[in-house]
Structure formats: C-alpha cells, structure tokens
A = this chain, B = another copy of it.
Amino acid sequence: MAGQLHLRNDRLLRALRREAVDRTPIWIMRQAGRYLPEYRATRARAGDFLALCKTPELACEATLQPIQRFDLDAAILFSDILTIPDAMGLGLSINEGEGPRFGRPLNSANDIQKLGIPDPDIELRYVLQAVRFIKAELAGRVPLIGFSGSPWTLATYMVEGGTSKDFMKIRSLMYADPKSTHVLLTKLSDAIADYLNAQIVAGVDAVMLFDTWGGVLTARDYHAFSLQYMQKILMNLKSHAERGAIPTIVFTKGGGQWLEAIAATGCDAIGIDWTTGIGDARRRVGAQCALQGNLDPAVLSASSARIREEVELILAEYGAGSGHIFNLGHGIHPTTDPDRVAVLVDAVHELSRPYHGEISQSQSATGTT
C-alpha cells in the first residue's frame, strides 16, 4: 500500500508536529486550480469542475500538476468541500466563477430530519479512489493532505442553497430554530468524521477542516455552532494502521479572534488568514499548535522583489524554530501568474533557512514517517 511508503520529503509532517526542519515547508490553498493552464486543460477534458472531482484519474492528474511544476512540500487532494452535501442528495452543481448551487437546498426542519449520513465507501467512493491513485503516483515524494468542509460551513451552503453574501438564511435558522440547526450540525459532524476516516484509511497523511464561514458568527455562536462540532470530529478521527495518529489542521477564515479556543480543540495546526499577525498568533497559542499561513494572496500580483519582501516579513514575524507551514491566507486567486508562485515557493525555502538550525537540517534530511 502507498501508505506504507516512506516519505522522501516530510517537512510538512515534521512542522505539524513542531519537530525540527531544514526549511519552512510550503503548500498553497487551491494550488491545483484555475491559475494553471494545465489544470484548465484537464478540466476541459473532464467537461466541468464537478466531473473533474468525480473522475478519480483526472482528480489525481490535477492534484499532481502543481507538484510537478513547483517545489511544494505537500499535495492536497483535488476535490470540493461540498462532496458530502452532494452525497446527501442535495444535487450539487458548480459553475466555476459563480460558485456552487444546490438543486434541493434545505428549506425546513423536516428536510433536515430526512437527511441521511452517506457511506463514504459507496457515495464518496470516487474521492477515496482518487486518494489511492494520488498516493501511488506521489510514491512518497511529498505527503498528501485530505480535507473536508466544517459542519457549519457545509450547513451554510445547504441552507442558503449556494454562496451567500450575508448568510441571513442560516443565521436566521440558527436564531429561530437552534434545535434543528444542531440536528443538522450533528449529522454533518458524523458524516465528516466517517469521510475523513475513510480518507485516512485510503492513505492521506494529514487532514484539514476548512471552516470557511465560521467567521460570520458571534464569538458565542462560533463556539456553539462551529468549533464544538469540529472538536467532536477531531476526537473521532482514527489513527492509520501503519502511520499512527494523522495530524490535523483547522482553518477558520476570519477566526483570528478565537485562536486560543481553536488550539484547545487538540488540532495539530491552526490555519490563519492574512488579517491575523502570525507573530501575535504564535505568542497566543505558544507551543500548543503549529501555524499555517498567511500571505495575502494579492501579494502574488506584485513584483518578485515585493513577494520576497512580504515572505521575509512573515518568516521574521513567526521567528526561529519549527511549527510554521507557509501558505497563503486564503485560496490562490485564479488570475495569478504561475511564475509568481515559483518565486514564492523558492523565496520561502531560501529565506527560511536562517530560521532553522544546522541540527534540524540533518535530522530532517534523514527523517521518515
């Protein structure tokens, strides 16, 4: 099995465990995506975005493209956060540029009651097949990150029927009928735990929860309607048979005010968006968690010199030692020039060396998982 292969580049996993590394690892949210011409060609062959997600060979191809082009330290499964609601029967369609729509959104407490929990080995088999293909293709070159949307984030799309500007439907439901909202979030938490456990069995090396819309909640409601469910999922994750505990990353966009609470869930790393200073974040969570982030994606439209400056600022803010996974603070913008990504990746590897000691370099060179 692919999962048994040693990783030749284990910087990501070492950084997630706050173990010494020779350079700060980097991967990029939406690194397989529209800014890459080879991705656009693959998507054209698939027909559309969702067909691409649902065709394991092509999802594997898309996942590998940024790894072939850039010196990235991790691959992330090419998929969508809305596979679970789709598997629950809501009828997903995705028009890239406009965002996702559900043909059958949740309109009532009864709709919520009727929702079943998908069996990942049946309804989401295409995702697990993609994971197995990717692991075989990667052959231990870099680790593979699996993921899911958070319960709250999935619930927003399922109730709003798609992308929303103000999330009035889901927030109104939450205030008017908290009981049904909790029923929905409980079902989603169970489905997500099953889904991530199946991804772990299939071979992913780390898992990430994307809580894209947790930041639209009050502090009190964030705890009650988003964070507690993510914690429940983390507690229900299984270890891989050979590789043991699988590290976890929690990313709440707009969650900078709640880092201490996120750290307390027991996740291995917190993803932070660009509005939070990574130095402040490190002071606040201490050695409890690694931190992932947080370059403003708009920086990639600037000159190479400017990109290197901003990279240096973030590296310096984080400071010496392991526990930092470099990333953008949000998904890469479709208009980004791929050459700028090469500048970014090289800058992170080159400029981060002084922040990691000699000893860690030799440790990391021989490190395996």
Contacts of A277 in B (CB 8 A): 218-220
Contacts of A218 in B (CB 8 A): 274-275, 277, 296, 329
Chain B residue at minimal CB-CB distance from A302: B175
Contacts of A313 in B (CB 8 A): 220
Q: How far is the CB of A227 from chain B (nearest CB, A)?
A: 13
Is A303 touching B176 in the complex (CB atoms < 8 A)?
yes
With A168-B333, A335-B168 as given contacts, are A275 and B298 in contact (CB-CB < 8 Å)? no
Counted per complex, copies of this chain come to: 2
CB-CB contacts below 8 Å: A273-323 with B: 274-277, 280, 296, 298-299, 301-303, 306, 310, 313
Is A172 touching B280 in the complex (CB atoms < 8 A)?
no
CB-CB contacts below 8 Å: A253-283 with B: 254, 256-257, 274-277, 280
Q: How far is the CB of A166 from chain B (nearest CB, A)?
A: 7
Contacts of A296 in B (CB 8 A): 171, 175, 218, 221
- Of the A-B pairs whose beta carbons lie under 8 Å apart in the complex, a sample of 16, sorted by A's number, is A167-B298, A168-B333, A168-B335, A171-B296, A174-B298, A175-B296, A175-B301, A176-B302, A218-B296, A219-B275, A219-B276, A220-B313, A221-B296, A222-B275, A257-B275, A257-B276
With A296-B218, A298-B168, A333-B166 as given contacts, are A175 and B275 in contact (CB-CB < 8 Å)? no
The number of chain A residues with a CB under 8 A from chain B is 36
Main secondary structure of the interface of A (DSSP, over half): helix
Of B176, B222, B280, which contacts A306 at CB under 8 A? B176
Of B166, B219, B298, which contacts A171 at CB under 8 A? B298
CB-CB contacts below 8 Å: A309-368 with B: 310, 313, 329, 333, 335
Contacts of A166 in B (CB 8 A): 333
Is A301 touching B257 in the complex (CB atoms < 8 A)?
no
| Given A218-B329, A221-B296, 11 other A-B residues pairs in contact with their CB atoms under 8 A | A171-B298, A172-B298, A172-B301, A172-B302, A175-B298, A175-B302, A175-B306, A216-B275, A254-B275, A256-B256, A257-B257
